[in-house]
Each structure stands twice: as structure tokens, then as C-alpha cells.
Chain A
Amino acid sequence: MTAVASASHADAVPLLTVEGLRCVFDVSKPWLNRVLEGASKQSLQAVDDVSFFIPKGETFALVGESGSGKSTIAKMIVGLLRPTNGEIRFDGTDITKVGNAAEMRRLRRRFQMIFQDPYASLNPRMRVDTIIAEPLRAFGILSEDGAIATRVAELLRLVRLDPADGVKFPHEFSGGQRQRIAIARALAGNPEFLVCDEPTSALDVSVQAQILNLMKDLQAEFGLTYLLISHNLAVVRHMATRVGVLYLGRLVEVAPSRQLFTAPRHPYTRMLLDAVPDLAMSGRQRLPVQGEIPNPITPPSGCFYHPRCPLANERCTQERPALVPAAEGYVACHAVAEGRAA
């Protein structure tokens, strides 16, 4: 499966291409404090020169720990945040530069987002059928009430809910059911691309399995393309075709899922995989995790990972490593490039 996916890379047309994406937040103290305390402006590079592409029908996962910038990237792709610079090309059009509102609307319809918390993402005062019908009306896909009701029922069936549930309110549903409603709403406009930001993190494992299976079924049925944001490596392994690993806003490794999990290259990826509790109880010996994620406002020089990296040398402390091809993926590491990594 992985071989097919990677073989198709060269000829597959990327549905989404992200290039040199950067997002800087101003985290300075208020003006008066700066004047009185003589403090200077401070900025936080949440996303630093990130590039990747997602071919049609694939699932690309972004993994990383808190503060790695994965949700920021998701927000910029769906247009909830403006990138400081960089390009986001969706089906050939750079969506950061679309000035025309009508054209943006047309594009918007083709990608949707599923959020982490199904308790916060559904309006508690709206009935479920109204929630699901909202995009249909907003995008002007359907306007006649009968047709909308038919479509809503169809969408509810699609996410394995009872069409009769449409008259209920969100609070009458469990977390897993609410996430199904959120998925039904996302699918209402027949999108091609879904950004899923931690779609199962708020759910119990048995419910998580239901949602992951549903996402896979829908992908097979409609040829959907997913960008999956997750900190759960087991979920990523199960869902993704390719995986990008983020550390402090930079991509350190991009590789086909199987390669990443069986032969991780970057020292950070290795540490991350090693830290996952071992459910197979193989009793394998693991390297203890060194240090903690540094403060992103004052990140280390050179490679951000060097203070924690067992392979770091002089060059790593000074020079930022570029993302270079390695096997079927890309790695940003001097040790790997120089062949110092075993």
C-alpha cells in the first residue's frame, strides 16, 4: 500500500501544496509596559518555513508535541489565520492571494475543517438538522426546504446516525455522536479536502475507533483528501499515507508512514517514537528522553533540537539544517546528511 502511494507521488497532482509557510505572532508586552520597563518587542515564530504537499486521495499527517505549530498550520490552510508569508496552493490557486470574494467562496466550499472538541464546535442552541443544513444554505447549494431536508437525512445516514436525530439538540448526544454531526456538517458541501485537527483527542478509545473507521470509509467512498493533525502516533500510523514531524514550528522529517514508523531518521522522530508507551510489552530497552521543549520565544541557535540531541556537534549548534531527500522522504538533520546517524 505504501509502495503504491509513493510510486504515485511523482505523477499524482498535489491537491494542496504548502510552500515556505511562516507565521509569526507578536507576543510583546503592551506598549506602555514596553516604554516604562524598556522592554523590546518580542515575537514567536509559530511556523517557520514549512513546505509539504498532499496528493489527491491521500492522508497527510502532521505530528508534534504542544507548541510545535501543527494547529497553526491547520488554521492557516483553512483561512482562519493569515500566514506571515508563504504560499498555500489549493488545486493550483494560491489561496493566500485570492482577492476576489466570490472566487474565495467557491474555493472555500471545497475544503472544510473538523475540530477537536465536538462540545465547542456545535452551537448548543441550534437543532442538529439546522447545524448540518447551514453550509448548504450559506454556500447556496440548495435553497428549497424539501431538498435540504432530504440532503440532511442523507448526510446523517452517511455518518451512521438516524435521520430522526435531526430534531434533537447537540447536548442530547455523546461525544462520539457529536463528532459524527461535525463530520456530517463538514461533508454537506461535498468538499474534496478535510482538515482534521485532533479529531479524536477528546474521545474515548472505543469511540475513537468508531470515528477513525468512519473517516476511512468516507475517504474510500468519496475520494477525500485529509490533513490530519494529531499528537497520537498510533492514530497517525493507522490513518496516514505520509507523515510530517514538526518540532518548534519546523518540519524535521517527512516520510511515508511505514518508513517513518519502522525506520525513523531524525533523532527527534526516534525519541518521539521511543517515548510511546509500549503496548506490545516487548520489554525493549529505550533511551531515556533528554530535556524538554525549549521556550519558543527564545529558541536555540542552529538546529532547534541540538540541546537535546545525542548526535549534535558544533555545526548543529550554528547552522540550521535544510530539509533534504532521504530514502523516500525528507530529513532536516546534519547528522543524517553527514552519515553520522547510525
Chain B
Amino acid sequence: MTETSEALLEVRDLVVEFPTRRGILRAVDQISFSLMPGEVLGLVGESGAGKSLTGTALIGLLEPPGRIASGTVRLKGQQINGLPPEELRKIRGRRIGMVFQDPLTSLNPLYRVGEQLIETIRTHLPLSEAEARQRAVDLLMEVGIPAAERRLDSYPHEFSGGMRQRVVIALALAAEPELVIADEPTTALDVSVQAQIIAVLKRLCREKNTAVILITHDMGVIAETADRVAVMYAGRIVEIGPVRDVIKSPRHPYTKGLMGSIPDPEAEAERLIQIPGSMPRLTHIPKGCAFNPRCGFANDQCRTERPPVRAVGKGSVACFLDEAQLTALSLEARR
């Protein structure tokens, strides 16, 4: 992406490392992307791609010994990585909200939902107890919880999974942040509940012009929700672009294989396209392009040099294949 002054979030060459006895492991390897206000960016990849770590690194919640080894994260031009923990705490919740996969980890089981909402609201906004309570009721109503006034006095365990996730979304949006990072927000939910939660998240973020980084392994959720999507593989972004382009005409061989391996409910293919092998472990990231051992197009350059990210069409791709070859790949794609 080109450098733009009005970008809400600007991530440049972010590297996340874990020092271990066997040496330093790079879990996120020089990734760059930017996010406009109100934009929904999907971060998609299979287990071990580094998508969740990217999310936690952005908000300074990496568990030690994990650390940001290099790179910058800028929120409206202000560098936020490396800020003292106190400063970061003020940004989290106030300017960046978070929604995690398991709503029970985000809610304290010992406090009523209302107390947790009111506490969050009053930490970040200068409101009185009564005003904060009213705001908590409004928030619960906005996320579609029936009888919000009464539910304020319920404990988290008294809600169903879907309702709990609604409460977490209300918490994340309590201080009207500019950005919400949602890490697999619907993975633990049934498909009908998932549809409800996605609808709530989409509607609220559109209404409040909140930008979203949506981390998921589910391409369907991305297709429904995101404006742009970044595909991660072994800690790197291999392809980033408008969601329609990436899903309908993936260019990177990995994205193409990933899309082909999803059973298509519309078509009745006898066999699915399969990528041989599986995601490499962090201790065994291949040299050159991390995808080269599983790629049908790999040549000697792919095995030795890391492909740079370059602009192709409206997006960017990290692959040595030239534009004509990549376009041919995308035309060959199923849809």
C-alpha cells in the first residue's frame, strides 16, 4: 500500500520474535499494511500463520518472551509500539477495542455484566455513574440483547454463547474506539449465531465509522465482512487486496490453493483442489519463499530468495511469478 497521511493504522515491517533455547523464532516476519478509518481488513490464514500474534502485537499484548523485534505500528501517525505500558493501556479500550474468540475469557465471571460495562465506560469516558449506566443499557440494546435494562444485572454464565459475544462487542465498542481488533469472533459459535454476530459487528462499525481488523481462518466470514483482505502464510503476508479480487481471482499460488480447497456449495466437484503438505513449523521455515516446498510453480529463485511484495492489479502479491503468470493463475481459479 502507498503511504498515506490519513491512514488510521500504519504497520511497517513488523517482526515478532520468540527467543527460545533453540534460537530465535520469527512468528511474524516483516509484515506491512495500512488501514483507513472505517475500513474492515480481513487477516486470514491457517493455524500457525501468525495472524493472531499480529493482532496481539498491534495492541501490545504479546506474552513474554514474545516481543516486537523491529518495525513500527502507527495509530494516526503516532507510533504506539514501544510506548510505556501505562500509555498503551489508555489506548487499549479507548482507541482500540478488542473482541476475542472465547467470550468467557474477556468477561469476568464474578461480576455482573452491567458492572463490567459501566467500569469500562467510566475508565475511558468522563461520565457519571447514572450516565454510564444509561450508556451501558443503550450499548446492550444496540448489540441486540433483549430486555437490556434487566440483563445488566446478569452474570456472564447466565448468557448463551452468542449473547456473551454480543456483550463482548458492546464492551469493545463502549468507548467508541477508532479501531476494533476482532480475533476469530465467531469461531466458537454455531453458524446461525455466527450470522447474527457478523451482522451486529458490521452494522455497528458502519454506523460508528469504526475500522476493524478481522482475524479469522474462515474465508466465508471474510467474504461477508471485509473490504480488503491480507492472506498470511508462515508469518508473512503473501497477498493483500480488495476482498472481491482476492476471493474471486486469487493470484498467489497459496491463496489459489486455499480457495480451491474450500468445498463450494454451488458447484459439485468430485474432488477438491489440495495443497500437498501442511504449514511449516516455526523451527523449520523453508529458505526463500516459505511456500516453495508446497508450490507447484517453485523454481530455484523461490528456493533461495524471499520474494518481495509487489503491486499487482489493485493489490500486492509476494511471489516471483510475473504478472502475466499470476493473472493466468487467477483466471484459472474456480470463481
Closest residue of chain B to A208 (Cβ to Cβ) is B261
| Chain A residues within an 8 Å CB radius of B247 | 279, 281
A293 touches B262 (CB 8 A): no
B257 touches A278 (CB 8 A): no
B265 touches A233 (CB 8 A): yes
Taking the complex as formed, is A261 at the interface, i.e. its CB lies under 8 A from any CB of chain B? yes
B248 touches A213 (CB 8 A): no
Within the complex, what minimum Cβ distance (angstroms) separates B278 from chain A? 5
Contact with A along B259-277 (1 / 0, CB 8 A): 0111111101111111110
- CB-CB contacts below 8 Å: A212-227 with B: 212-213, 216
Within the complex, what minimum Cβ distance (angstroms) separates B163 from chain A? 8
| Chain A residues within an 8 Å CB radius of B335 | 280
The residue that B198 contacts in the complex, of A207, A213, A235, A277, with Cβ under 8 A, is: A277
Taking the complex as formed, is A288 at the interface, i.e. its CB lies under 8 A from any CB of chain B? yes
- CB-CB contacts below 8 Å: A173-216 with B: 174-177, 204-210, 212-213, 216
CA distance A271 to B224 in the complex (A): 17
| Chain A residues within an 8 Å CB radius of B269 | 238
B278 touches A204 (CB 8 A): yes
| Chain B residues within an 8 Å CB radius of A65 | 190-193
Given the contacts A206-B278, A208-B261, A233-B265, A278 and B223 also touching, CB distance less than 8 Å: yes
A205 touches B262 (CB 8 A): yes
A204 touches B47 (CB 8 A): yes
B220 touches A278 (CB 8 A): yes
Within the complex, what minimum Cβ distance (angstroms) separates A118 from chain B? 13
| Chain B residues within an 8 Å CB radius of A216 | 270-271
Closest residue of chain A to B254 (Cβ to Cβ) is A206
B194 touches A275 (CB 8 A): yes
Closest residue of chain B to A282 (Cβ to Cβ) is B266
A277 touches B199 (CB 8 A): no
For the complex of A and B, 4 pairs with smallest distance between CB atoms: A277-B220, A209-B261, A238-B263, A204-B46
CA distance A275 to B244 in the complex (A): 20
| Chain A residues within an 8 Å CB radius of B47 | 204
A279 touches B220 (CB 8 A): yes
CA distance A292 to B160 in the complex (A): 9
Contact with B along A280-312 (1 / 0, CB 8 A): 110000101100110000000000000000000
B270 touches A271 (CB 8 A): no
Taking the complex as formed, is B331 at the interface, i.e. its CB lies under 8 A from any CB of chain A? no
The residue that A206 contacts in the complex, of B46, B194, B195, B263, with Cβ under 8 A, is: B46
Number of B interface residues in the complex (CB < 8 A): 46
CA distance A275 to B260 in the complex (A): 22
27 contacts between A and B (CB under 8 A): A65-B190, A65-B193, A66-B190, A175-B278, A204-B279, A205-B258, A205-B261, A206-B275, A209-B263, A213-B274, A233-B191, A233-B265, A234-B262, A234-B264, A237-B265, A238-B268, A275-B191, A276-B265, A277-B198, A278-B224, A279-B247, A279-B265, A280-B266, A281-B244, A289-B192, A289-B193, A292-B193
Taking the complex as formed, is B217 at the interface, i.e. its CB lies under 8 A from any CB of chain A? yes
- CB-CB contacts below 8 Å: B187-214 with A: 190-196, 198-199
Within the complex, what minimum Cβ distance (angstroms) separates B66 from chain A? 22
A279 touches B217 (CB 8 A): no
Taking the complex as formed, is A258 at the interface, i.e. its CB lies under 8 A from any CB of chain B? yes
CA distance A299 to B314 in the complex (A): 52
Within the complex, what minimum Cβ distance (angstroms) separates B172 from chain A? 21
Within the complex, what minimum Cβ distance (angstroms) separates B92 from chain A? 29
The residue that B218 contacts in the complex, of A233, A258, A277, A292, with Cβ under 8 A, is: A277
Taking the complex as formed, is A272 at the interface, i.e. its CB lies under 8 A from any CB of chain B? yes
| Chain B residues within an 8 Å CB radius of A206 | 46, 257-258, 261, 274-275, 278
Within the complex, what minimum Cβ distance (angstroms) separates A310 from chain B? 14
Within the complex, what minimum Cβ distance (angstroms) separates B281 from chain A? 9
CA distance A35 to B157 in the complex (A): 25
A237 touches B220 (CB 8 A): no
| Chain B residues within an 8 Å CB radius of A127 | none
A281 touches B223 (CB 8 A): yes
B268 touches A258 (CB 8 A): yes
**Besides A205-B258, A212-B263, A234-B264, 12 new A-B residue pairs in contact (Cβ under 8 A), listed by A number:** A65-B190, A174-B278, A176-B278, A204-B279, A209-B263, A238-B268, A275-B192, A277-B195, A279-B223, A279-B264, A280-B264, A281-B243
Within the complex, what minimum Cβ distance (angstroms) separates A115 from chain B? 19
A212 touches B192 (CB 8 A): no
B192 touches A205 (CB 8 A): no
| Chain B residues within an 8 Å CB radius of A278 | 220, 223-224
Taking the complex as formed, is B221 at the interface, i.e. its CB lies under 8 A from any CB of chain A? yes
A288 touches B196 (CB 8 A): yes
CA distance A176 to B274 in the complex (A): 12
Taking the complex as formed, is A56 at the interface, i.e. its CB lies under 8 A from any CB of chain B? no
Within the complex, what minimum Cβ distance (angstroms) separates B130 from chain A? 31
CA distance A288 to B198 in the complex (A): 11
Taking the complex as formed, is A231 at the interface, i.e. its CB lies under 8 A from any CB of chain B? yes
Contact with B along A242-266 (1 / 0, CB 8 A): 0000000000000000100100000
| Chain A residues within an 8 Å CB radius of B278 | 174-177, 204, 206-207
Taking the complex as formed, is B162 at the interface, i.e. its CB lies under 8 A from any CB of chain A? yes
B221 touches A277 (CB 8 A): yes
The residue that A210 contacts in the complex, of B248, B263, B274, with Cβ under 8 A, is: B274
| Chain B residues within an 8 Å CB radius of A174 | 278
B248 touches A281 (CB 8 A): yes
| Chain B residues within an 8 Å CB radius of A289 | 192-193, 195-196
Within the complex, what minimum Cβ distance (angstroms) separates A210 from chain B? 5
